Structure 1
Amino acid sequence: MKPTIYEVAKAANVSIATVSKVLNKTGRISEKTIRKVHEVIEELNYQPNMIASALMGKQTKTIGLLIPDMANPFFSELARSIEDRGEELGYNLVMCNTDYKIDKENQYLALLKQKSVDGFILASGFENIEKVKELMKEEIPVAIVARDFPMFSVNAVALDDFMGGYQAASYLIGLGHTNIGIVALDVWSNRERIRGFKQALNENNLEFSKDFEFITESTMEAGKFITHKYLNGSNVPSAIFACNDLLATGVLQAAKENKVNVPGELSVVGFDNTLIARIVEPPLTTISQPIQSMGKQVMDLIVSMIKGEEKDKIRLTLLPSLVERQSTAKFKMPPKLSDGAVEEVEK
């Protein structure tokens, strides 16, 4: 039999109300009593019935986090920063991997609502605008992280993705690159990054790559596949901008397989500045997102909403920055055939 709150109260020699206050971190309780209750909870291995608490109108201290791809280092690092801040504030996370699929988003939202979570954090890649509106209409606390819904008012902690793409293009153009390929999945954040990229090209009278096409999944294999097409096409770029570090790793792998030297023959820029950017060879030049700050701020925002402290919608936009490493170099014109060589070919 699982221990009950009554047994915890009896063993700790306190009232049931005191145990409840300790669990919910409410009321004025002495540190001595808090320690005693927690010692008994640990001794008895007591697990609070969160569903019962929810039915009584109490908070479950649980937040649902929907992440599109936990295999992507950016999302795993973001989830960790959110979880760490949640632990500091006394909240647990239920993390769900949606694989960028709307049906899985709907499935997890329905499941977590049944579990009576106190609120939702929806990460970049969440494209189901109608579901966000539905949650807000139901007055369920919801916050968006690493993307934005500028078309309506919603709590969000986002990056200026437009500026990130603009920085990447400006940097490569400054190195002398004019023919630049792009690797990107068709999601809102990447569309903004490409929009910023195009802006920098336009300002320098350069054309956007005619060979560009969105990939269908955000994996190293997809990055490698599209890079093979770039490197074996008729208009080989001298640089490639990948819209996340995972894709950029695929770009580096494809370059190695095609015996293309990075950065001597091909410069590569990623996006996110995750751990992977520092350990690949060569280390990756990338646009850095303030992942730790992003996770902390979105958790602070959702908890404030859950407690009823924040009534107005808040949209925080963080700025990216470029981190230069060894995957990029100044553009070098490919060696041309000498006049003699041309004549020999003509003969």
Structure 2
Amino acid sequence: MNPPTIKDVAKASGVSVATVSRVLHNLSGYSDKTKQEVLKAVEELGYQPNAIARGLINKRTQTIGVLVPDVSSSFSSEILHGIEQVANDKGFSVIMCNTDEDGKRTLKYLQVLGEKQVDGVIFTSGSLEDEYYKLLKQMRVPVVLVNTLSHKHAIPYVKVDDRQASYHATEYLIRKGHRNIAMICGTITDAIAGVPRLEGYRQALEDHGLEYMDSRVGYGNFRLDMGREAMKKLLDEAPPFTALFAASDEMAIGAMGEALERGLKIPEDMSIIGYDDLVFSRMVFPPLTTIHQPLPMMGRMASEMLIQLIEGTDQVSSSIVSHQLIERQTVRQMP
């Protein structure tokens, strides 16, 4: 059985196809009684307006593209949840593109999104390279950044102040009495999150009269396995330390695993603080003290901003959202 058409709705409600179309698109030129008859016929027949036909009328596809570096990560899924929640409420579908960690698929997916004629794009967590920006300009659709920003291009964004949050985490360890504090940060070339978090750590040490030492800094890629590798190197080669700040929860948990394998008790022998407050930071033992990023809220905000731009708002303001330090059980007070 073929699905009902707009002609079927017109026949059932006793009006013209043009009138049905006007009702469905909330235009004027009909009585309230006619509107009720049309809506009743739509409901009884189960009529679903064709997406392509809608697009021809309002010049939209009601879809947005989202570029994420790793869709399997808990970090990305929390942001995506917020994006989809708002998009669904506003009648938009989401096309999710997994760009891979190094972004090697980004150009390919941008071309696909252009072919799909998406109404807008949300770009998450990576660096907005010039080649990406050029393609986005060619698409002529609004763009919003989440968990990243562009120092070169005026694109609205939603993110936490990484430098300030990192400073807060390091200062917390200092106030707990720690004087020898190591750090596992992101990649050394990451100007979006890696460098600001390292700068926050360094500034907190200097502001409290503590020496910053390159030898107490390890580098990872924000993932668990690299957190373990970086912790192994620090324990083997760095001057002794009693506390560690890891620039992601995954790296913090990887570091915890390495410390525990070496017989170190947490927090008795080693205090550790993470960054992100992902769901498994509450599931490990002991539960991880960490910096909370409101990831689902950031996703919702980015989605709302993009849809405002799609619907004709001239501009929206970027947002720096507040972080929060969540105390659990991996940091102890030094005597």
For residues 1-347 of structure 1, what are the structure 2 equivalents within 5 Å?
A: 3=3, 5-6=5-6, 9=9, 13=13, 26-27=26-27, 33-34=38-39, 36-37=41-42, 40-41=45-46, 48-50=50-52, 54=55, 58-136=59-137, 138-186=139-187, 187=190, 188-211=192-215, 212-215=217-220, 217-308=221-312, 310-331=313-334
Q: Offset at 1:196?
A: 1.5
Q: Offset at 1:248?
A: 1.6
Relative to 1, partners in 2 of residues 1:184 and 1:19: Cα closer, same or farther, differing over 3 Å?
A: farther
* Count of matched residue positions in the alignment of Structure 1 and Structure 2: 325
Task: Write the distance in 2 (CA, Å) between the matches of 1:80 and 1:275.
Answer: 13
Q: Offset at 1:201?
A: 1.3
**Partners of 1:269 and 1:286 within 8 A in 2:** yes
TM-score (norm 2): 0.86
Task: Write the distance in 2 (CA, Å) between the matches of 1:253 and 1:285.
Answer: 15
Aligned AA for 2:101?
A: Y
SS class of match (2:122): strand
Relative to 1, partners in 2 of residues 1:169 and 1:48: Cα closer, same or farther, differing over 3 Å?
A: same
Of the structure 1 ranges 135-144 and 247-256, higher mean CA displacement relative to structure 2 is found in: 135-144
Q: Offset at 1:237?
A: 2.5
- Identity, in percent, stands at 31
Q: Offset at 1:55?
A: 6.1
Aligned AA for 2:219?
A: F
Cα deviations across residues 64-116 of structure 1 (Å, max 9, x unaligned)? 01111223212111110111111111111111111232321111111111111
Q: Offset at 1:323?
A: 0.8
Cα deviations across residues 212-256 of structure 1 (Å, max 9, x unaligned)? 2432x3321111111122223352332221112122221222122
Aligned AA for 2:325?
A: L
**Partners of 2:219 and 2:230 within 8 A in 1:** no
Relative to 1, partners in 2 of residues 1:136 and 1:258: Cα closer, same or farther, differing over 3 Å?
A: same
SS class of match (1:93): strand
Q: Offset at 1:139?
A: 2.9
Task: Write the distance in 2 (CA, Å) between the matches of 1:118 and 1:171.
Answer: 44
**Partners of 2:9 and 2:38 within 8 A in 1:** no
Over the residues paired in the alignment, what is the CA RMSD in angstroms? 2.8
**Partners of 2:249 and 2:277 within 8 A in 1:** yes
Relative to 1, partners in 2 of residues 1:11 and 1:237: Cα closer, same or farther, differing over 3 Å?
A: farther
Of the structure 1 ranges 115-124 and 14-23, higher mean CA displacement relative to structure 2 is found in: 14-23
Of the structure 1 ranges 76-85 and 63-72, higher mean CA displacement relative to structure 2 is found in: 63-72
Aligned AA for 1:122?
A: F
Task: Write the distance in 2 (CA, Å) between the matches of 1:96 and 1:59.
Answer: 20
SS class of match (2:332): coil
